[in-house]
Chain A
């Protein structure tokens, strides 16, 4: 994936100031707080209402990890059903996903399984996923218990966080954990000499089978 980074790096002539670039997608039902979550992380700001995202939007944040500058290009997607086909197109090439639901909304939690299937269908095999239950500050209106969230995440093999963009709970931790997982996976693949990773401009394999299940991570 380092090479994929290089490809992007060349194109982004304005900002060469990083060692790696990770592309991360935030997905989940409409109004679960994806945009807020991203703004909290990237700008450390919170507004009770952002305009509903049309299509796809992004923000950039550069962090340091193991003495490496990692540029995160975080894509924020529209959650509406109608935008699914458009946003899934961007799944390819994403190294990490934040799959988000709203703990005050049952539907958004029920849709997690679907979203996870979408990831497996359209993303790279090595893409890492984190499950996030957002709006944990609204304890009064909670309908999805943390246990249910945890159970589902274990079932899907993702790591799990409950977070609040409003109260700034676990936002930074979520992103940093995702970056760590990606880094681990990357060094694993590089060590194994996996051609799928070391090969130049690696793309997905066009197989009819869905991607193999992701490695289970201990939460």
Chain B
């Protein structure tokens, strides 16, 4: 049986060549599609939609292309998807039940849905099919074509037994004119639309429309069953009057005008510059009015919106309102893409001179810091070089207009460089770690904000270039004047560890290098202090030398090395150091220097002198990338014995330095002494019985220390007797600091912006609502982040604007919360019902808004005081009137069937969408 069945099905699929004409082919094609979509199954049960289903339910859409000759149509099926009900109800369906679409015509649950297809709005349908010309430019204009199309649909429907209404779109698309048909067992509904430019005066009110409806029904049964009426008037408010968005954009001109508060600098701009809510639409609805109760004709109307039982509101947001943060972000992102260097921006002249000098800066520096420098250092001083460069810049600036005025510049530098109190730890750590930014109290963070502002408000690229240049000069100044200004630019307070934590992924390069600079400054300060203390003791003897030192140097502390020929490491503290003079007096052999403290009551092996721990140099700090570099170099030496030896060599600087210090502190010492302090387990003690039978403890170096020519012995032999402070520095802070400053100086404004980008985003997020902050939205693309942030800002601006309009001067707590809820739902939902309509708290506010707008609108014409006609509301922008009834048609003995007319009256549009059902068996 099955095979036979299948065979039949196959036959059905075969193209029927008897359908010869294009028209016949079109009809069968429509049928085919309806079959494909299974719309011919009449028993499909759909319960009446619940209130709000049209908005909350999801609409499904399915399209196919069909041809009439060579004319392309698109046939689309629309269906409201609801949770499927249990199938048992299906059986209850009576044989002659009306098609669902006809039942929908009378359903009152979903009048005026906020968002729906126009056919849904007009006819209350849950399922329908539309045939439209496939290309937008094509249209079915001529009446004969329309009729042809409609009759095709009619034939297809009756052939297929489809009960879903099918519409064809005629006339130009924008006019939205549809003609359609729905067929059921013994019944049919015709859908017709009238569309006019102007509302004919006789139909400009309810009574006129009722007349049309009744005459169209053509029912001669008396008394006529009452017509059910639903009315909605829509009022548009565009003029917000005094409730306009209260925030003024920050007045940046004030700073230029001389009122330097510096308040804006270091803060982020935020909010919309213009009203972000463009319109408020108030819909006053009378959902269920029986004919005769309401009077609305050409001379009088009962329809006062204030009395309407239902109010609902929708708002229209301004498209792309100008928002400050968003604009700033966009500009900042643009800056990130710029390739110009500081010199490119600020002009040439600087480039060739400074470029040459910075070019050989490192070689010059190594000369400076080399203990045996042969160059007269005072002449080659970097300090003087920089100062001359600075002077040049300033000189040049006086000629050209500099992008930033001194006032602004100073206030910016003040903001970015002064220390602020620490943020609470939670705020500090949580967000910036995720963002790879810096904490809000850090220099980088504040600098980022300044660059952000300068980029937008003070001259863009040129301004940023100028700011950066000044910033670097400022850093240099601070480096040069360690003692005076130490301590205010610490980026991280705690970097006690030897390694500067600086994973580049987490912290911007600026932070890292900045920290290195800090290290340098600190080391240098320590040196300077030590030297000062020393000088103080010498002062009485060498007063005149200090005088000369003061004359030669510009930076106060610069003298600490520019007046000496050699650059040495200076011990951190003098207090632990025993006076060398007294020791020297006791020990005739040589002078001891750089002693820290005696070590465990030990004495030297070859003398009775106590063993002293020497003052030693601190190992050099390294940034993480420097460390990585170094370990790579070490690894490259390979795993051979030579490699190991070379590695040890490379790392022996510290050992050698310590040995030299030790030798200086312990005159007459031997390697064993050193080992006893430095690596105690390499000095092996043994109790031996000597020749006389006494127990004696004898010590000797461990086997490994005795290996001939080993690193330690070798180093010990080469170590000179030099206290730490006269040794070559392990960490050349001068060189490192110059490297850092050079690196900074070479950054292009665009690079700077890139480095600071994460901080800016961080700041923007902090500025946004904490709720927004939690959302995970980050991609990797900077511009996407920017636009997302701008979008959030806009949303917040809209929310604020609405809030400002709806929550003013109310004391009632419950009212306030209700209004709050109302505002938030306005932002989220397409249309919001106003509880209590015109009498509720929100309704009263809306009413006042309209009254104020009306007053203002009438204000320019005071003489035109038309006494009684002072209305609270403007004429409605749109009126929708829905008429429904159920009458026998076409003959009095026919079945009573649903009839419906939906009327839209607007200033420039008049539309009647009618659905009239008639009995096809008894007429």
Contacts and interface: CB of A to CB of B under 8 A. Distances in A.
Interface stretch (B62-70, B492-500, B579-587): B492-500
B710 A51 contact: yes
Contact of A205 (B506, B627, B655): B506
A57 B648 CA distance: 8
A64 interface: no
Interface stretch (A86-94, A135-143, A161-169, A181-189): A86-94
B711 A54 contact: yes
A204 interface: yes
A88 B497 contact: yes
Contact of B654 (A48, A57, A86): A86
A59 B639 contact: yes
A92 B624 CA distance: 9
Interface in A110-125: 121-122
B503 A204 contact: yes
Interface residues of B, number: 45
Nearest to B618: A85
Contacts of A199: 505
Interface in A166-207: 199-207
Tell me if A's interface is mostly helix, strand, loop or mixed.
loop
A84 to B, nearest CB: 9
A5 interface: no
Given A105-B681, A203-B624, A206-B507, A51 B501 contact: no
Given A204-B501, A204-B503, A206-B501, A50 B704 contact: yes
A89 B622 contact: yes
Which of A29, A48, A50 is packed against the most chain B CB atoms within 10 Å? A50
A82 interface: yes
Interface stretch (B22-30, B516-524, B630-638): B630-638
A60 B707 CA distance: 25
A18 interface: no
Contacts of A12: 635
A42 interface: yes
A121 B494 CA distance: 14
Interface string B613-655: 0001001001010011001101100010000100110111011
A11 B625 CA distance: 14
A55 interface: yes
A86 B622 CA distance: 10
A157 to B, nearest CB: 23
B658 interface: yes
A56 B702 contact: no
Contact of A52 (B494, B501, B704): B704
Interface string A30-46: 11000000000010000
A73 to B, nearest CB: 7
Contacts of A52: 679, 682, 704-705, 710-712
Nearest to B656: A54
A40 to B, nearest CB: 14
Which of B494, B501, B682, B702 is packed against the most chain A CB atoms within 10 Å? B501
B337 interface: no
Contacts of B712: 51-52, 54
Contacts of A204: 501, 503
B639 A42 contact: yes
B711 to A, nearest CB: 5
Contacts of B679: 30-31, 52, 80
Nearest to B710: A51
Interface string B464-501: 00000000000000000000000000000010011101
Contacts of B706: 49
B703 interface: yes
A88 B707 contact: no
Contact of B634 (A56, A59, A200, A208): A56
Given A11-B632, A203-B505, A208 B494 contact: yes
B212 interface: no
Contacts of A203: 503, 505-506, 624
Which of A59, A88, A89 is packed against the most chain B CB atoms within 10 Å? A89
A54 B634 contact: no
Using C-beta atoms within 8 Å of the partner chain, give the interface range for chain A.
35 or more
Given A92-B624, A206-B433, A207-B429, A30 B681 contact: yes
A93 B503 CA distance: 11
Contacts of A42: 639
B678 interface: yes
A154 B365 CA distance: 54
A52 B704 CA distance: 7
Contacts of B433: 205-207
A101 to B, nearest CB: 12
A29 B616 CA distance: 21
Contacts of A57: 644, 647-648
A54 B644 CA distance: 10
Interface string B661-683: 00000000000000000111110
Contact of A206 (B506, B639, B681): B506
Nearest to B705: A52
A54 to B, nearest CB: 4
B655 A54 contact: yes
A86 B647 CA distance: 14
A202 B707 CA distance: 42
Which of B499, B705, B706 is packed against the most chain A CB atoms within 10 Å? B499
Contact of A73 (B616, B624, B635, B680): B635
Nearest to A74: B639
Interface in A65-106: 73, 80, 82-83, 85-86, 88-90, 92-93, 105
Contacts of A51: 648, 704, 707, 710-712
A105 B370 CA distance: 45
A206 B507 CA distance: 9
Contacts of A90: 627, 631
B703 A55 contact: no
Contacts of A30: 679-682
Contacts of B652: 54-55
A70 B420 CA distance: 49
B498 A80 contact: no
A80 B499 contact: no
Contacts of A29: 681
B727 to A, nearest CB: 16
B147 to A, nearest CB: 64
Contact of A31 (B503, B622, B634, B682): B682
A48 B648 CA distance: 20
A88 B498 contact: yes
Nearest to B703: A49
B702 A31 contact: yes
A204 B712 CA distance: 35
Contacts of B678: 80, 82
Contacts of B622: 89
Contacts of B507: 206
A51 B651 CA distance: 14
Which of B429, B624, B681 is packed against the most chain A CB atoms within 10 Å? B681
A201 B504 CA distance: 9
A89 B498 contact: yes
A88 B621 CA distance: 12
Given A92-B499, A206-B433, A56 B651 contact: yes
Contacts of A49: 702-704, 706-707
A41 to B, nearest CB: 12
Contacts of B635: 12, 58, 73
Nearest to B653: A55
A86 B506 contact: no
24 contacts: A31-B679, A52-B682, A52-B705, A54-B651, A54-B655, A54-B712, A55-B651, A57-B644, A80-B679, A86-B654, A88-B497, A89-B499, A89-B627, A90-B631, A122-B499, A199-B505, A203-B503, A203-B505, A203-B506, A204-B501, A205-B506, A206-B433, A206-B501, A206-B507
The 8 closest A-B pairs by CB, nearest first: A203-B503, A55-B651, A49-B704, A49-B703, A85-B498, A54-B648, A89-B499, A51-B710
Given A30-B679, A30-B682, A56-B647, 4 more contacts: A31-B679, A49-B706, A57-B644, A207-B429
